[in-house]
Amino acid sequence: MPVQEKVRVLVVDDISETRDNILRMLQFDTNIEIIGAARSGKEAIELSQKLKPDVIVMDINMPDMDGITATETIRRKLPYVQVVILSVQNDPSYMRRAMLAGARDFLSKPPSIDEFTAAVRRAGTMAQDERMKLESASVGSGPGGSQGSSSISTSRGKVIAVYSPKGGTGATTIAVNFALALKTEDNKVALIDANMQFGDVAVLLNEQAKNSVLDLTPRVDELDKEVIEDVFINHAASGIRVLAAPPRPEMAEAVLAEQFDKLIKYLRQIFTYIVIDAASYLTDVVLASLESADEVILITTQDIPSIKNCSAFLTLADGLGIKRDRILFIMNRYDKRITISPERVGESLHQEIVATILIDDRMVSSSVNRGVPFMIDNKLHPIAKSIQNLVDLTRERLAKAEEAPVEVAAKK
């Protein structure tokens, strides 16, 4: 689809000479209009809110805030804006982090003029298309309008990944009941099974999955709301929508991390909350889930192997750029009689355990075997109350994180 109007571009680079070179490369294309330039990530966030560009050409290395962090913040506020990252470091890990943050393209410095302008124009076309979809959806759901079945929300849904680096800690049970506790009349909740080999989410809800994530990821660039409705399970007892894992373990490799990440980005436009039940082993899909999540619920139990694995994961998270303030560290199956306390574990791992869920294997086992989660038929049980408290804490943290970029801009 050709660009219907000029592509409005904001250039971000802390070196004036580089900014001038970028401007010179783009000025000869009559379909591109430079609307501003920023010298830092924080200034880019501020100007993007003010100028509403289609495309941002973003340097990756800047002194105050790197381009990847700025990209993630901008895309959270303006999901239609497309970002083209430029970097002197032609490193696959940088490219991967940039794409997970929401960048449209990643080019090595210095790019050729043809390559660069083509990337900006492609990004511009996508930005204008996405903006039109969002505006149409907004008009259709406003006063006097009717919201059709294919409409997409203008708000950006929040992603919560539930993860334990050790199997058998109850992560799937927590993910299922957490999603149920999130659901209200005012929001839409999706529960995604990201254990691609041995996913049990549908089983815990007593559902038979006719379709799976493999019905969506290969066609991720041509999704619409009707396709989502057809593939997702509608859990009638709760109203949440469920995306099952592939039906056979050998199919797991067919789910590509890049496609899965694009799928989650699309689902953010439809659902208020997306809960991902992540496998314990760190596949590319699981890493994509954790790196793109707004909050990561990290689960340990009171046994040494589980604590050791959580310690190793926290060290890895630091290296991957998963900030500690996005991690809710919780202890499941907490038994007060065991001397390994949440306080001691938190101090040892330098990550506070913010919530505990009491042990009651008998009740949980009954819930799992019946396919009726306790958040449906046993909401007054102490474990159910702990899940609800965890949901309340997560919502509070998400609300604070939503306000944070505005505060940064105001202090500048």
- The stretch 76-99 carries a mean pLDDT of 80
For 7-139, CATH gives 3.40.50.2300
Paired strand residues for 37: 11
Could you tell me if 273 and 157 are in contact, meaning their C-beta atoms sit under 8 angstroms apart? yes
Q: List the structure tokens of 323.
A: 């900030």
| pLDDT tens digits, 186-221 | 889 999 999 999 999 999 999 988 999 999 999 998
> Looking at the predicted structure, is the pLDDT value of residue 143 above 50?
no
pLDDT confidence tier of residue 63, bands split at 50, 70 and 90 = confident
- What number of CA atoms fall less than 13 Å from residue 312's CA on the CB side? 12
Domains 7-139 and 158-411 alike in fold:
yes
CB burial string 64-103: b at 16+ within 10 A, e below: ebbbbbbbbbbbbebbbbbbbbbbeeeeeebbbbbbbbbb
Predicted confidence (pLDDT) per residue in 268-280, tens digit: 999 999 999 999 9
Pick one of 3.40.50.150, 3.40.50.720, 3.30.450.40, 3.40.50.300 as the CATH number of 158-411.
Answer: 3.40.50.300
DSSP labels, 142-164: STT----TT---SS--EEEEEE-
Phi-psi region of 90 (alpha: psi -120 to 50; beta: other; left: phi over 0): beta
pLDDT at 404: 63
Q: Domain residues of the chain, as ranges?
A: 7-139, 158-411
Tally of helices (H runs) and strands (E runs) in the chain: 15, 13
pLDDT bracket for residue 286 (50, 70, 90)? very high
